[in-house]
Amino acid sequence: DAGVIQSPRHEVTEMGQEVTLRCKPISGHDYLFWYRQTMMRGLELLIYFNNNVPIDDSGMPEDRFSAKMPNASFSTLKIQPSEPRDSAVYFCASSRRAYEQYFGPGTRLTVT
Amino acid sequence: AQRVTQPEKLLSVFKGAPVELKCNYSYSGSPELFWYVQYSRQRLQLLLRHISRESIKGFTADLNKGETSFHLKKPFAQEEDSAMYYCALTRGSTLGRLYFGRGTQLTVWP
């Protein structure tokens, strides 16, 4: 099992561009989480899904951020337009039970 | 509201010394507490959970409800323990959501 898969692993983009991050959870897991990690703020939960339905998106910083989970094996996090302050490592995690979360390797986003 | 506090952003010890990473929480109900670890260039992964009462890689953590703490301890630190450690809490009513502390970067010097 490859675990949680995220793509791309690194993304460098210019301010104003659209960025799409992708996640494939572990098969059979019914929870999916998107986190952002920065030096200043640590690990922040952005949004999470249960059975493909968004449960809590209160951590999404603003309307420029959106997330979808069209099916049990795929989710996207989109930033449009991107800004330099969005530079961070974005993690996707999945779990079958409420709390045993398995994390992906992360996407390091740099917005110039 | 629930909150997880890790008062130390950075912690350094020498190899062989005891280490304690502090974690305090605020929650009026019965939480479940966890420690996650992120080694350099590796994924964040579960280290241990309080309900298991287990020792992983020599680390233990005891839930102290009176002091609302869940400190992570190891009697003899090793260089390979250097990593970022996150304390996390879940409560039954939030159906899967983990509340993380801000993390403690542990460095073990040779």
Report chain A's mean pLDDT, rounded to a whole number.
Answer: 93
Mean pLDDT across the stretch B44-67?
88
A105-108: long-range contacts, CB 8 A cutoff, minimum separation 24: A105/A4, A105/A6, A105/A9, A105/B43, A106/A6, A106/A9, A106/A37, A106/B43, A107/A6, A107/A7, A107/A8, A107/A9, A107/A10, A107/A11, A107/A21, A108/A9, A108/A10, A108/A11
Q: Is the pLDDT of residue A37 over 70?
A: yes
Q: Is the pLDDT of residue B86 over 80?
A: yes
- Residue A93: closest C-alpha in chain B: B44
A106 at B interface, C-beta within 8 A:
yes
Chain A nearest-CA distance from B100, in A, is 7
Share of chain A above pLDDT 90, in %: 80
What string of DSSP letters covers chain B?
A: --EEE---SEEEEETTS-EEE--EEE-SS--EEEEEEE-TTS--EEEEEGGGT--BTTBEE--BTTTTB--EEESS--GGG-EEEEEEEE-GGGTT--EE---EEEEEE-
Q: Is the pLDDT of residue B93 over 80?
A: no
Mean pLDDT across the stretch A47-67?
92
pLDDT at B68: 92
B103 at A interface, C-beta within 8 A:
yes
Mean pLDDT across the stretch B82-99?
82
B8 at A interface, C-beta within 8 A:
no
pLDDT at B81: 97
pLDDT in tens, B17-42: 999 999 999 987 778 899 999 999 88
